[in-house]
């Protein structure tokens, strides 16, 4: 009933106006190379973004305190469109709204977002596209904690406390889901992610940004999104697979959002495509003191938290992310790899421009 009231309130707020909408939404997950890939997409000549060609800056229209946002839905939508209009690209074929927190706030963002789209010109959640990037969850949690532990980041807890609290929250989430029948819509509604997987006070936006462990439980977030938006409207990309061949990875993403990789409406050359694919921003350089807190024992503890959900994730997606514990060697300890290290390691396996123009065009004509 609460979700229905949210949608009805949003409809009432927007009923007097018809607004356009982005053609695709880049919804997360945070600390999964989202800033780098958003910058690459914004550089494409046929993609316009609220953040301009640099691709930096997040929209945050539909997240946060959703009740306040429902009240101001029309103004918020107009603000988003004003941002897009400030960064026009002649002949643009696609427009991007980028907010990596949306994936985690899966119990109310889809309702607000889809409710808004229903009031725009020929726009529905069912014909928008949603891009999601993932990262090995232990590495993601470490990166998130280190990033937020810097001055001004808002995180004051030790890594040990983060792991212990995150593990307890994950157990609570699984218990709630079991009590309500698993992963169907009723369970998704009964076990809201922003309540069960955030540090107390639950659901507060600042606490959501500190959900270092919870954000790596991707299966719960995606299951909640898939309950609102058809699965085929999503492209889910593990960044380890993306950076195994970043040029091919970007070409695949471009095909999914409906723009060509190369040619008159694409990048001018394979070299330009490769340069965009290899953009890296927001590389964290944690202090020695922060790094010292991330012990092998705590990483093992985190890996145990993620083991079962990672395998559930593979079953939900229908492909191997590489995160399922059964896919690892028994004696392999989980490593913590930076985004740049993932890309650098992958680049060592190839030389020059690794994708021929013909293969890029073939990918670009696929809908993913």
Q: Where are the alpha helices (DSSP H) in the chain?
A: 2-14, 34-43, 66-71, 73-86, 109-117, 137-148, 159-179, 185-190, 193-196, 205-209, 218-226, 239-242, 246-257, 270-277, 288-293, 296-317, 339-347, 357-364
pTM score, two decimals? 0.82
Q: What is the pLDDT of residue 261?
A: 97
Distance separating the N- and C-terminal Cα atoms of the chain: 35
Residues of the binding site: 135, 143
Q: What are phi and psi for residue 22, nearest 5 degrees?
A: -60, 150
| Residue 272 domain-assigned (yes or no) | yes
| Residue 356 domain-assigned (yes or no) | yes
Q: What is the pLDDT of residue 328?
A: 56
The CATH number of the domain where 229 resides is what? 3.40.50
Looking only at Cα atoms, what is the longest distance across the chain? Answer: 61
| Residue 51 domain-assigned (yes or no) | no
| Residue 90 domain-assigned (yes or no) | no
With DSSP H G I counted as helix, E B as strand and the rest as coil, what are the percentages for the chain, rounded to 5?
50, 10, 40
| Residue 183 domain-assigned (yes or no) | yes
Q: Read off the pLDDT of residues 155-175 as tens digits, 9 standing for 90 and up.
A: 899 999 999 999 999 999 999
Q: How many domains does the chain have?
A: 1
Q: Coil, helix or strand for 130?
A: strand
Q: What is the pLDDT of residue 247?
A: 98
| Residue 94 domain-assigned (yes or no) | no
Q: Indicate the burial class of 118 (C-beta count within 10 angstroms; 0-12, 13-18, 19 or more).
A: middle
- CA separation for the pair 102, 214 (Å, rounded): 14
Measuring CA to CA, which residue among 62, 57, 129 is closest to residue 98?
57
| Residue 114 domain-assigned (yes or no) | no
Domain holding 154, by residue range, is 24-45+132-364
Q: Which of 31, 83, 215, 299 is catalytic?
A: 31
> Which ranges of the chain have pLDDT less than 50?
3-4, 6-8, 10-19, 327, 329-335, 346, 348-368
Neighbours of 18 (CB within 10 A): 11
Q: What is the pLDDT of residue 73?
A: 60
- CA separation for the pair 183, 224 (Å, rounded): 8
Residues of the binding site for 3'-phosphoadenylyl sulfate: 135, 143
| Residue 247 domain-assigned (yes or no) | yes
Q: Which residues does residue 47 pair with via DSSP β-bridges, in sequence order? A: 94
- CA separation for the pair 235, 26 (Å, rounded): 10
- Per the annotation, the verdict on 31 as an active-site residue is yes
């Amino acid at each position: 009933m609460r979700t229905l009231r949210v949608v009805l309130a949003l409809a009432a707020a927007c009923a007097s106006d018809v607004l356009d909408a982005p053609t695709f939404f880049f919804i997360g997950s945070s600390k999964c190379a989202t800033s780098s890939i958003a910058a690459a997409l914004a550089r494409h000549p046929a993609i316009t973004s609220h953040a301009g060609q640099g691709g930096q800056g997040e929209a945050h229209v539909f997240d946060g305190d959703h009740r306040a946002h429902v009240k101001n839905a029309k103004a918020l939508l107009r603000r988003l469109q004003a941002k897009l209009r400030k960064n026009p690209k002649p002949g643009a074929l696609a427009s991007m709204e980028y907010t990596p927190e949306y994936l985690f706030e899966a119990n109310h963002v889809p309702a607000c977002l889809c409710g808004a789209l229903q009031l725009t010109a020929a726009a529905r959640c069912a014909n928008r596209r949603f891009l999601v990037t993932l990262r090995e969850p232990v590495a993601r949690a470490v990166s998130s904690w280190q990033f937020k532990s810097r001055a001004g980041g808002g995180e004051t807890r030790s890594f040990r406390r983060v792991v212990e609290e995150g593990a307890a929250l994950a157990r609570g989430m699984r218990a709630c889901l079991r009590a309500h029948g698993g992963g169907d819509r009723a369970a998704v509604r009964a076990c809201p992610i922003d309540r069960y997987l955030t540090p107390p006070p639950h659901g507060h936006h600042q606490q959501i940004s500190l959900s270092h462990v919870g954000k790596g439980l991707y299966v719960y977030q995606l299951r909640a999104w898939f309950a609102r938006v058809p699965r085929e409207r999503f492209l889910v990309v593990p960044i380890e697979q993306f950076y195994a061949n970043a040029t091919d990875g970007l070409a695949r993403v471009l095909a999914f959002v409906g723009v060509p990789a190369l040619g008159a409406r694409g990048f001018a050359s394979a070299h330009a495509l490769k340069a965009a694919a290899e953009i890296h921003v927001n590389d964290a350089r944690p202090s020695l003191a922060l790094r010292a807190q991330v012990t092998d024992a705590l990483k093992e503890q985190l890996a145990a938290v993620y083991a079962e959900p990672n395998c559930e994730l593979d079953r939900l997606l229908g492909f191997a992310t590489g995160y399922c514990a059964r896919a690892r060697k028994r004696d392999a300890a989980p490593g913590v790899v930076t985004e740049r290290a993932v890309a650098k390691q992958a680049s060592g396996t190839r030389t020059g421009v690794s994708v021929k123009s013909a293969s890029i065009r073939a990918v670009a004509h696929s809908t993913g």
